[in-house]
Structure 1
Amino acid sequence: MRIAVVGAGPAGAWASTLLARRGHSVTLIDSQAPWEKPCGGGVTAKALSSFGIFESDLPRSTIDRITIYFGDSCSVTVSPNEPLAVVSRRELGKYLMEEAERAGANIVKNRVTRIERTPRGWCLSTRNTCMQSDFLIGADGATSLVRRSVSTGLRPKDLCVTLGYFIPGTFPAHMKIYFVPEFEGYIWSFPRPTHTSYGVITRSDPGWTGRAKMLLSNFMAADLGSEVMQQAEFYSAPVPCLGPNSWKKNQISGDGWALIGDAAGLVDPITGEGIYYAFKSAEILAHTIERLELYGPKVDMEIGRELTRASRMYRRFYRGRFAGADFKKRTVQLAQRSRTLKIILGNLISGNQSYLTLKKNLLLSIPSVTVDMIWGRS
């Protein structure tokens, strides 16, 4: 089968590799890849252990210490049982595209400007040619042209925005996450092998972006000094952030087409993490493309249920209150005093604690948390 994959990020490149290995004629189309994607670059322990690509010698910073701040009033440092990694997305993209090419995929450095259905499949127009395919895969991000051509694009209310700065240099392998009172989103500092990424993710609603950029600049100045802005490289990009109702209507496949990764909206709405879901959706599609009716249900079972639960928890996480204070503040304060809560928090950040079982595990941990606080086991 002739398959056109639009977008050579992790989802598109990995899907191209797997499909080419299965004997399909794959064309991977992207005008810019590999690029340094505007994101933190964090890879959860769950992703590291799930996909063979991370067993390679890909350059990375290994993170075993994460400090979570709530405003200037409190913080807690956790050490996940399994370390995370931070990678350069340019290096990851380069590695994945080389894997796709070795598997037999044809890489086209061009920009798709128009997609049309034909009697035999699809016609993908670029500035100087029209490529034909039997099957179309959209892996072209949150504002996916493929999604807008075959279905409907993500609505503004289902998008967040990331913005931040890359700062060259060598930095300690210490990840920082900073929550601000009355602010939906968080600021991060993720060290990479050759630079560090300072960024923020927040709602794309009017007014939020300007406030986010100001908060981030203040955080960076306090952390590194105001002069660091002179060598910082700015970035910004949209990120899917689907609400509960949107998950119910999220169509990710149809006659002769499928969406994967960000294009399918497969991103954790609370954290903005999408790398695990990018690889996972690519793998599911590669195994179900000959029986496409299985793709949607399998994604829903292995990914959708988790992300739907996260979307239902979003409002409580960012706007909720617990014991008379902001929910996030109380979480940090309690984790300061409880070894058990630190473990749960570390597992949540590393991707090893599912949202589906989080409430149950928290309830079961109450006796241990109580003992921690009585005996001072922090």
Structure 2
Amino acid sequence: MRYDVVIVGAGPGGSTAALVASKLGLRVLLIDRFQFPRIKPCGGGLTPKTLALMRGLDIDPEPIIRNRCFKVALTNWAGTYLLSNHYGDEALIGVTSREEFDNYLLNEALKHGVDFVKDRVTGIEETPSGVRVKGLSNEYLGSYVIGADGANSVVSRNIGNDRAGEALALMTIAHGGQHADDICLIDMTRIKWGYAWSFPRGRGEYDVGLGSLKWGNYREELRRYVKELSMSEGVIYGHPIPIKPRGRVVSKNVFLVGDAGGFADPTTGEGIFYAMYTGAWAALTIKKSKLTNPTLVYRDLVQPLIRNLRLAYGLSTTVYGLDTLVMSRYLGLTAFSYEGTRRLISRVMSGKSWYVDALKSLVKPSLHVRLLSNKRWF
């Protein structure tokens, strides 16, 4: 069978693309090497802009939100500062389990007629009429392919990208603890060029982890952090986080979304929003672009996002380098002590601004976030 779209990877980006494409009347095949539900290492934080995007796509987030953090306690060497949502009643972080979240999105796609196959994709071949996707078990034909297969993307490598520019994160599901269930913790003193986190998931569980722009063996540091929080650790998982968009995010008939395209925030580590956002755009352009190649339309649409994330990379080196390792540690000074900085963080997490808007102190919402979160496409 030939499909309009073959999507490799059933995480948030792939399942969102599949759901949108199917609702728009396209024949969709979704391939993943795992049977769902499956373990996915992640902090599990859903920002207000992610929840707004989900609702705009007719995906109800309530069934998979385990807990809400209306305050985020951010600690660096200069002190502890409370972050909150200054632009609405939404919690700054909705805490979910990625195992449950990803399975929920996949099932939403399946409800709308998406075909699912468990197979490990080994490569793709673009042909004059479309793309041939090669798996260990079979081959699959599609007019277009959406690569949503994560930071280690086979699809990305097949269109000429390498894996340069990745951060490292470790996490575990811990039990116990005594801190408030409506406060998420971020500690920038635990690790250089990054931070440790503790997100309460409810039911006595905490998503605890640490991430750094610099790779290293951080397992013992994570264990010490869990112990100091008076918790008992679970299995420790590691995963890469792309900190720079890939050199190529499209080829003639291929789109890259989410981590496969390098779409993740290097300052916060947030990836779920960017995966769903780019996945939705990829599906929309395939359906809507009739006069030109949709991959070129998609490439142009994500250019503002690419510029935003490149700026975020520069900002991340300032935050974790100059502010944390120098200013806060040795001078007791930090940008987080200023209310204006905390409001800018809230604006970005709420989808009111890209980083470039925030840094220019422009008071205008992002057109793209408004487009996908406020307008109903179906």
- Same fold by TM-score greater than 0.5: yes
Give, in angstroms, the shift of residue 341 of structure 1. 4.8
Map residues 141-180 of structure 1 onto 2, 5 A cutoff: 141-155=150-164, 158-168=165-175, 172-180=181-189
* Cα distance in 2 between the residues matched to 1:182 and 1:101: 41
After superposition, the C-alpha distances for 1:351-374 in whole angstroms (9 at most, x for unaligned) are 545321333439xxxxxxxxxxxx
Residue 82 of structure 2 aligns with which residue?
77
* 1:264 aligns to 2:273 (yes or no): no
Residue 251 of structure 1 aligns with which residue?
248
Which 10-residue stretch deviates more, 170-179 or 159-168?
170-179
* Cα distance in 2 between the residues matched to 1:182 and 1:115: 39
The alpha-carbon distance between structure 1 residues 329 and 165, as it changes in their structure 2 partners (threshold 3 A), is farther
Backbone CA RMSD of aligned residues: 2.7
* Cα distance in 1 between the residues matched to 2:75 and 2:350: 17
After superposition, the C-alpha distances for 1:199-233 in whole angstroms (9 at most, x for unaligned) are 1111354xxx22x33332222211115xx13xx12
Counterpart AA for 2:129: R
Counterpart AA for 1:255: K
Residue 123 of structure 1 aligns with which residue?
132
* 1:66 aligns to 2:72 (yes or no): yes
Residue 359 of structure 1 aligns with which residue?
359
Give, in angstroms, the shift of residue 48 of structure 1. 1.2
* Cα distance in 1 between the residues matched to 2:44 and 2:332: 26
* 1:196 aligns to 2:206 (yes or no): yes
> Which of 20, 40, 44 is residue 41 of structure 1 equivalent to?
44
Aligned residue pairs total 342
In the alignment, is the contact (CA less than 8 A) between 2:159 and 2:248 conserved in 1?
Answer: no
For the pair shown, the structure with the greater C-alpha radius of gyration is 1
**Normalised by the size of structure 2, how large is the TM-score?**
0.82
Counterpart AA for 1:120: S
Residue 236 of structure 2 aligns with which residue?
234
In the alignment, is the contact (CA less than 8 A) between 1:59 and 1:91 conserved in 2?
Answer: no
In the alignment, is the contact (CA less than 8 A) between 1:142 and 1:239 conserved in 2?
Answer: yes
* Cα distance in 2 between the residues matched to 1:321 and 1:93: 35
* 1:314 aligns to 2:316 (yes or no): yes
**Normalised by the size of structure 1, how large is the TM-score?**
0.82
The alpha-carbon distance between structure 1 residues 349 and 177, as it changes in their structure 2 partners (threshold 3 A), is farther
Map residues 99-138 of structure 1 onto 2, 5 A cutoff: 99-138=108-147
SS in 1 for 2:121: coil
In the alignment, is the contact (CA less than 8 A) between 1:60 and 1:86 conserved in 2?
Answer: yes
* Cα distance in 2 between the residues matched to 1:100 and 1:38: 22
* 1:223 aligns to 2:229 (yes or no): yes
* 1:22 aligns to 2:32 (yes or no): no
The alpha-carbon distance between structure 1 residues 16 and 121, as it changes in their structure 2 partners (threshold 3 A), is same
Residue 373 of structure 1 aligns with which residue?
none
Counterpart AA for 1:44: T
Map residues 288-303 of structure 1 onto 2, 5 A cutoff: 288-289=285-286, 290=289, 291-301=294-304, 303=305
* Cα distance in 2 between the residues matched to 1:272 and 1:127: 32
* Cα distance in 1 between the residues matched to 2:182 and 2:190: 26
Larger helix share, 1 or 2: 1
In the alignment, is the contact (CA less than 8 A) between 1:70 and 1:329 conserved in 2?
Answer: no
Give, in angstroms, the shift of residue 138 of structure 1. 0.3
The alpha-carbon distance between structure 1 residues 169 and 37, as it changes in their structure 2 partners (threshold 3 A), is farther
The alpha-carbon distance between structure 1 residues 109 and 333, as it changes in their structure 2 partners (threshold 3 A), is closer
Gaps of 5+ in 2: 363-378
